[in-house]
Structure 1
Amino acid sequence: MSRALDERLASLSGWHKDEIASLRSVLAPTSAPQGTAILASERYAALGRLLKQLSSHRPVVVVLDDVHWGRDALAFLHFILSRVADFAGRLLFVATAREEALWERPMERDALQELGKLGLVRILDLEPLDEETHRNLVSELAPLDPALARQVAVRTCGNPLFAIQLLGDWVERSLLSLDGEYARLSEGVNTPIPSSMASFWEERVDRVLQNRPAQDRQALEMASLAGYEVDLSLWEKACRRGGLEPCYGLLESLFDRRLALASRDGSRWSFVHGMLRETIANRAYKEGRAERQHRAWAQALGEVEASSEILAPHLLAAGVVEEAIPLFRGAVDGRLKEGDFCRAESLLAQWERAFATSEDRHPEWTIRKARCDCGLGRYDAAKVGAQRVRVDGEGQLRAEAILVLAQVERFQGRPDAALALLAEVESLLSDGQADSLLWECKLDSARILLNQPGGLAQAVAHAESALALAPGPEERARSILYRGEVDRQAGDFPSAKGRFLQALEGFESCGARLGVALCHNVLGEIARYEQRLQEAEEHYVQARRMLVMLGSDHRLQPEVNLGLVLLEQHRFREARPLLRSALGSFELRKILPMEAAMHICLLPCAADAGDWEAWDHHAQRAGDLLERTGVVDIDNARNAQLGGEVALAKGCRDAAMVAFELALQQWRALGKAEEVAALEKTLASVPAVIAS
C-alpha cells in the first residue's frame, strides 16, 4: 500500500514530503512514519488539496457514511467548507447519519448542526421509500415471486440498504432458485426475513459462529471494541489477556463471507460495515461482557505502551475511571498545546462519558471544552463554559477560566475588558504557583498592549516577564517572538530581526512547526519595512506554505502580507482581490482588529481604481472599528498614509484628508513623533482645492 501510494503521489506535482506524510496517515495509517505528530488540521489540509487536484480532471463525489460515529469526518467537512477559497473545486460531499444514533452522541449532533449553518450545506431528512417505490426497487433487484417480493418490501420498511443487503445475502448463500420467470426461495429453505438491519447483521454473525467454539463470539466482540480497524497483534494480546485464544479460522470465515476486510499487508482488518461492528459490540454490552473485555484491551495496550488517547477510552469503559481521567487530561492538554482543537474535542467527547449527566461535568473538563470552543471560534459557547468554571471552580481552575474569558474578549476586539480580566488572573496566582498559566497571562497581556495607544512600555514589561516564566523551550521561543513583536511595533527593526531569528532557532530545535512558520512571517515583515521586497516575499511564501500544510488559520497572515508587498510596489489591482478575500475571512471569524486593518489596506486600492463608493465604505468601517477596538499598528499607519497619497494623486483632496487623519491617529498613538511631523508637513502643503 505504501509503495502504491508513493507511486500515485509521485505523479502529482508540487507536493512537499510533509504533505505526503499527512496523506499517508489518512490513506495508509499502518505505513505512516513514526516521529512528529501529525495534526488533524494537517490531514484535512492535505486531503482537501488532493481532492481539489483530482477534481480538476473531473467532478469528485466524496461519500462519508455514518458520520454519527465520525467526529473526525465532521471536523474534516467543517474544515473544508469553511475554507472554500482554498479548496474550491468540482467537489460534492455527501454525508449520512442516523437520527436515532445522533441522540446518543451529542457532540456529533452539535457538529452536524454547526455544518448546517454554513451556506453551502443542505441537510435533507430522508424518509423511507413509499410503498410503491420500494416494491419497484425490490423487483428491480431480483425477479422475485410477487408474494415473496411483497414480504421483502414489507419487512425492509422502505429501507433500500436493508433490501439490497438481504437479497445480496440470499444470492450469496444460493437460497434462491428460478421457477419460470420468477425467483423463489429454494425448496426446503425456511429462512425468516429479519425484522430490522440489526437483526439481519445478528443473523449473519450467528451463521458464521454456528458450530464454532463458544470463545469465538467473545473474540469477535473483543475486536468490535477496538474501533474501526483492528490491529491483529494487539487483538491477539487482548484476547489472551481476556483468557481467549483467537482462532484464525474465524477470520477466514469473516473474509469468505465478506463480513470483514484485511489490509494489504495483513497486519490489520476491519468489519465491512459500521453497523455490523455496532451490532456485535451491543451484544457484548447487553450481556455484560464488555467491561471485562475493555479491561483486557487496556492491559494489552499497556504492555505496548500505547498512547493515552488510545488507552484512556478502554480504561473508562472498563470502569477504571480514576486511572482514565488523568490520561484524558494529559491527552487533551497535549492537543490543546498543539492547537489541534478538533482532536482535543473528540477526546473530550469520550471523557464526557465519565459523567452521569451534563450537570456532573467536572470543572477540569468544562474549562478544556471552553478552550476548544475559543480555539474554534465558538466564542459564545466558550464564555458560557468559562463563566461556569469561574463561578464553580477554585484556585488555578478559576484563574484559567478568567484567562479564557480574557482571550474571548481579545479575539472579539475588546482590549480593555481583556486587560482587566488578565489583571484579575494575576491577582489570583501567587508567586511560583501555576507558572505556565501566569506565563500565558503575561504573554496575552503583551499581545494586547502591543496594539494599544501608549502601551509599548507595558508590553515590554509583560513580554520580559513571560520570557522569565516560560515553562519550556517552545514557550521560551514564543516569548522571544512576542518580545520581538514589541520591537517591531516600536520601529526598532534590527533588534526585532535578531529576536525573530533567535525564536526561529528555538522553534526549530523543539520541532514546533507552527512557531517556525510564524517566524518566517515576521521576518518577512522586517524585510518589507526595509524595502527588501523580494526577500519579504520569499519569507511570506515559506510561511504560507507551512501554515497551509498545517491547516492553520494563521495562514491568513502571510496572505495579507503578500498583499502588502503588492501595495508597496503600487500593484493595487493585483492586491485588491487578495485583500478582499482576507477581509471576508476576518469578517466571518469576527476578528475586528484585522477587519479594520483590511479596510485600511483597501483604501489605496479603491483610490487607484477611482472607486470612491468603495473608498467611503472602507474609510467609514476602518474608522468605526479602530474607535471600537482602540487598536494601533505600524502597518495601519503606513497603509492609511499610502491611501491618502494615492487619493491625492488621483485629485480627491477630501478622501486624501480622511486617510491622512487615520494615519496621524495611528502614528500619534504609536508615539512616532518623527512620522507625525513629516505627515503634518505634507498636510500643510496640500492645496485647499485640487482640480479634478
Structure 2
Amino acid sequence: MGPNLLRLRTLPLVGRRHERDLLWKSLREVALHRKPRVVLLAGRAGSGKSRLAQWLVERAHETGAAVIFKAFHPSIPGGTEALARMVARHFGCIGLPRPKVLARIERALQVTGVKHPDEAQALTELVTPEETTAEGPFASLTRRYLLVARVLERAAHARPALLWLDDVQWGSDTLGFVDFLLRHPAAPEFPCLLLLTLQEEALADHPFEAAQLEKLRGDDRCTTLAVPPLPPADHLRLIEQMVEGDLALRIAERTAGNPMFAVELVIALVQRGLLKPAARGFVLKAGATLELPDDLYQVWRTRIDRFLDGEPPQVRTALELAATLGLEVEREVWERVARSARISLPPNLEDRLVSEGLAEFTETGWAFVHAMLRETLERQAREGGRWPALNRLCARTFASAGPLRMPDRNERLGRHLFEGGEREAALDPLWKGSLQRLYRSDYRSALCLLLLREKALEELGIPRNDPRWLEGWCLRTRIHELQGELEEVRHWTRWIRKAARPGQDDRFVAEALRALGNAERQAGDLRQALLFLEAAGKIFEATGDRISLAKILASSGDVARQQGDLKGAEQFFRRALALHREAQNTLGVATVCAGLGNVARQMGRLQEAAALFEEAHALFEQLGNQIGIANCLNGLAETARAQGDFEAAESGYRKAFEIYETIGSRNAIVMQINLALLLLAQRRFSEAKAILRDTLDRSGKRPPQGLLACLHLALLPCAAAEGAWDAWDEHDHAARTLLEKTGLIDPDIAWSLELAGDLALAAGEGERARQAYALARWQWEQLGDSEKSEVLDRKIWGGRGSGGTPV
C-alpha cells in the first residue's frame, strides 16, 4: 500500500460508539418531532470531529435518512460565503454566470411549486451578488436567513435536512443563522439537524463567535458533544490499521489520541521513504532513523517540504499565493495572481496536490485538504518575510481584475492591502466593502471590516476628529441600530458628538442622532425617539439636506402616531410629503402617503385613508417594493375592517401576511394579530385564540414588546368569553406592564379593552370590567377621541355620570 493509496483509503471509524449512537438518535428525534435541533461536536484540532460528522452524513445518505447540506468556513475572511455556497451547491450552479444561475433556480423553484417570482431573484442575488455598494434585496438580516431557511424547508419536505456546518469558530454569520432557526418568530419549523463542528482552542481569538456559541449552548435544543482524544486502546487500533509492531506504539504515544495527527504522520513518514509495505501495513525500513514531529503543524510542514523537494522556488510562491487567497482557491483568480507575479503554473500542479493528499478539487478550482495546511503555508511565508509581498501581489490583481466577476472585490482588496502594509490605500476599499456587507445584511462582517479600517487609521496616526473616523463611527451606529443594540448606538453617538467639529461635522452628528432615534423607537421608548429624531431633523434642515430631513420627518410622523398624537403626526407627514414631491422621490412619496393613510384611518377619515393607501400601493407596485405593497394591503384591510367590510379585510390581511412571511418581516405577526381582531369583531373567540396563542407560544420566540402587549390584550376577550379569569389576570398584568414600558397608543388597544370589558361585565365580573374600561378610556383620550371617551365614562359609571357608583 503506497502513500497515495493510504490517503485515498477511508479508514474505518474506530471507537466513538457513544458519540455515534447519540448522533443517530438526534437525527431520529428530528424526523419524529419535525423541528430543528443542534448537535455541537467540540474538541481540539485533529480530534476526529469532522470524521464523526462525515460518518453521520455518509450513513444518512446511504440509508436515505436525510437530505445533506454542507457549509465549510475558512480561517481567514473573504471569498465565497458559507451559506451562499451551500445554497449554490444545492441548486448546482457554482461557477455559472448570473443569467444561467437565475434560469436554473427558476426551474428548480417551479418544480417545487414556488409561486413568488421574487424568490428566484433573491436567491440569485444571494448566490452571485452584484458587485455594487448600492442597497440590495436583503434589507434585513432576517430576509437573507429566511431565504436560506426556505430552501432547506422545501428540501426537507419528505425527509429531514442534515446540515454539516464545519469549523463554526470561524463562522459568525452561520452561527447567526442557527440562532435564527431556533429563536426567530419568522423562522419556519421543519425537520432539520444542524451538526456543528468546533475547534475549541481557536475560540480564544474569536470572542464574538465564542459569545454566540455560549448563547447557543444555553438553548435546550442544542446538545454539546465533547470529542476528547481517542482512548489509548482505540487509538492504537486505528494506528495498527496503517503500521505494524513497535512503530504503532511509538506513533500512538507521540500522537496522544489525536487521530488526524496519527494519520498525517504516517503519510508523511511514507512520503519521506522511511517506511516500507509489509503484510498488514507499513514497517520501518532497516537502518532508517525515526524522528517524530512534536505537533500537527510540524507534520504539515514536513509534507509541504517533501512536496516541494526538487521544485523551482516559483512553485512554493504559487502555493503561498494560494494560501494568501484562502482555504478555497478559485482557479481563475489564482492564475491571474500568478501571472501578475510572473509565475508560470506547472500544468499538472493541481493534479499533483490532489494526488499527494494536499488538496481536493472543487467546482471552481481546488481547496486545501485541511485549514491547518493553509495556515502552515501562511506561517512559513510570515517567518520568511514573504507575507506582505504576497498580499500586495493579490491586491494588484483585485485592483485591476477587469471583467473578472468578483462581488467581494473591495473587501478582498482592502484586506490584502492592509496585510501588505499599504494602510492608507486600504482605507477606501475597506469602507466600500463594509457598506457592501451592510447592504447584504451581513452585519458582523461589516463591523469586522470597520474594525480593520480603524486599526489602519490608528497605525497611520490619523487624529480622532478626522472625518474618516467619524464616518466609520456613523456606520457603526447604523449597524448596531439594525441589530437593535441600543447601548452600542448610544455609545458611538457619544463618541461622534464628542469628536465632531462644530459647523464642519454636523452631518455626522445628525446621522448618529437619527440612528439613536430609530433604536429608541425599536426599544419602545417613543418619547426619547421623537426627541432624537427632531434634533437630527433640525441639523439636516440647517445644512440644507432636504432628503434626509424628509426621511426624519416621516419617521417622526410614525412615532407621533404611535404616541397617539395624530395631529402632530399629520403635520410631520405633510412636510415630508412636500419635500419628497419636490425632489421627485417616488419611494419617499409612497412611504409618506402610506403614513398619512394610517393617520387618516385612525382619525376616522376612512375614504381619505383608502385613497392614500391606493396611491401608495400603485407607487410601490411601480417600484417593485414588496414591503411597501404589503404595508398598503394591510392599511386597506384595516380600513375595510373599520368600515365593517370583514370579507375584504380578511382577504387583505391574508395577502399582506403572505408577502410579509415571504420576506421575513416581523409584520407577519401584526397580520396575525389583525386577523385575530377581525375574528373577535365577529365573536369567533376560539378561532382568534388559536391564532393568538400560536403567535405567542411559537417555540418560545418572543416578538417586540409593543406587539407582545397587543397579543396579551387581544387574548383578554378570549379569556372573558371562556370565563378563564386566571388567564385574564395573567394577560392583563403582562399587557399593562408592557404598555407602561412602551407608551404605545393605538385604537385597536382601546377596542380590545372595551370588548373585554363588555364580556367581563356580562359575566358578572364588574371590577375586571371597570379596570378594562378605564384603560380603554385613557387610550381613547390620548387619541383625542372625546366621543368614545364619553361612551366609556357612561360604561364605567353605569350611565349615572361621574357622581354615581362605578361598575
Structure 1 pair 295–571 and aligned structure 2 pair: CA distance change class (3 A): farther
For the residue of structure 1 that corresponds to 2:563, the secondary structure is coil
Give the deviation of 1:601 after TM superposition.
1.0
For the residue of structure 1 that corresponds to 2:195, the secondary structure is strand
Residue 270 of structure 1 aligns with an amino acid whose one-letter code is A
Partner of 1:304: 402
Residue 566 of structure 1 aligns with an amino acid whose one-letter code is L
Partner of 1:675: 788
Partner of 2:661: 548
Give the deviation of 1:38 after TM superposition.
5.2
Map 1:520-559; keep pairs closer than 5 Å: 520-559=633-672
Give the deviation of 1:465 after TM superposition.
3.1
Q: 1:462 aligns with which of 572, 577, 588?
A: 572
Q: 1:443 aligns with which of 549, 554, 577?
A: 554
Query: For 2:497 and 2:701, how far apart are their aligned partners in 1?
Result: 29
Matched, 1:416 2:541: no
For the residue of structure 1 that corresponds to 2:611, the secondary structure is helix
Query: For 1:633 and 1:185, how far apart are their aligned partners in 2?
Result: 83
Q: Which has the higher contact order (CA 8 A, sep 6+)?
A: 2
Map 1:140-159; keep pairs closer than 5 Å: 142=241, 144-159=243-258
The 8 Å contact of residues 162 and 194 in structure 2, kept in 1 or not, is answered as: yes
Q: 2:513 aligns with which of 392, 402, 415?
A: 402
For the residue of structure 2 that corresponds to 1:95, the secondary structure is strand
* Structure 2 residue ranges without an equivalent (≥5): 1-91, 94-102
Query: For 2:123 and 2:369, how far apart are their aligned partners in 1?
Result: 23
Give the deviation of 1:174 after TM superposition.
9.8
Query: For 2:199 and 2:305, how far apart are their aligned partners in 1?
Result: 25
For the residue of structure 2 that corresponds to 1:450, the secondary structure is helix
Q: 1:102 aligns with which of 203, 208, 216?
A: 203
Structure 1 pair 311–680 and aligned structure 2 pair: CA distance change class (3 A): same
The 8 Å contact of residues 640 and 660 in structure 1, kept in 2 or not, is answered as: yes
Query: For 1:321 and 1:508, how far apart are their aligned partners in 2?
Result: 45
For the residue of structure 2 that corresponds to 1:86, the secondary structure is coil
The 8 Å contact of residues 797 and 806 in structure 2, kept in 1 or not, is answered as: no
Matched, 1:377 2:484: yes
Partner of 1:316: 418
Q: 1:80 aligns with which of 171, 178, 181?
A: 181
Partner of 1:615: 728
Give the deviation of 1:33 after TM superposition.
13
Structure 1 pair 369–132 and aligned structure 2 pair: CA distance change class (3 A): farther
For the residue of structure 2 that corresponds to 1:380, the secondary structure is helix
Matched, 1:44 2:154: no
Q: 2:758 aligns with which of 637, 641, 645?
A: 645
Q: Which moved more, 1:602-611 or 1:366-375?
A: 366-375
Structure 1 pair 85–402 and aligned structure 2 pair: CA distance change class (3 A): closer
Query: For 1:587 and 1:276, how far apart are their aligned partners in 2?
Result: 43
Kindly report the root-mean-square deviation, in angstroms, between the aligned alpha carbons of the 2 structures.
4.1
For the residue of structure 1 that corresponds to 2:187, the secondary structure is helix
For the residue of structure 1 that corresponds to 2:310, the secondary structure is coil
Q: Which moved more, 1:238-247 or 1:676-685?
A: 676-685
Structure 1 pair 626–419 and aligned structure 2 pair: CA distance change class (3 A): same
Give the deviation of 1:313 after TM superposition.
2.9
Query: For 2:380 and 2:624, how far apart are their aligned partners in 1?
Result: 45
Give the deviation of 1:338 after TM superposition.
6.7
State the TM-score, normalizing by the size of structure 2. 0.74
Matched, 1:504 2:617: yes
Query: For 1:261 and 1:48, how far apart are their aligned partners in 2?
Result: 28
The 8 Å contact of residues 321 and 390 in structure 2, kept in 1 or not, is answered as: yes
Residue 742 of structure 2 aligns with an amino acid whose one-letter code is T
For the residue of structure 1 that corresponds to 2:562, the secondary structure is coil
**In percent, how many aligned pairs have the same letter?**
31
Task: Please list the CA deviations of residues 223-267 of structure 1 after superposition, one character each: whole Å capped at 9, or x if unmatched.
Answer: 333345433223322222233333332122223334334344xx4
Q: 2:171 aligns with which of 53, 58, 70?
A: 70
Query: For 1:356 and 1:101, how far apart are their aligned partners in 2?
Result: 26
For the residue of structure 2 that corresponds to 1:230, the secondary structure is strand
Partner of 2:322: 223
Map 1:157-556; keep pairs closer than 5 Å: 157-167=256-266, 179=278, 183-185=282-284, 192-264=291-363, 267-302=364-399, 303-304=401-402, 306-307=406-407, 308-333=410-435, 336=438, 341=443, 344-345=446-447, 347-348=449-450, 350-351=452-453, 353-354=455-456, 362-394=469-501, 395-435=506-546, 437-453=548-564, 455-470=565-580, 473-556=586-669
Task: Please list the CA deviations of residues 489-514 of structure 1 after superposition, one character each: whole Å capped at 9, or x if unmatched.
Answer: 32333333333333334444444443
Query: For 1:531 and 1:232, how far apart are their aligned partners in 2?
Result: 64
Residue 421 of structure 1 aligns with an amino acid whose one-letter code is F
Q: How many residues align?
A: 684
Structure 1 pair 469–187 and aligned structure 2 pair: CA distance change class (3 A): farther
For the residue of structure 2 that corresponds to 1:87, the secondary structure is coil
Query: For 1:171 and 1:545, how far apart are their aligned partners in 2?
Result: 61
Structure 1 pair 237–548 and aligned structure 2 pair: CA distance change class (3 A): farther
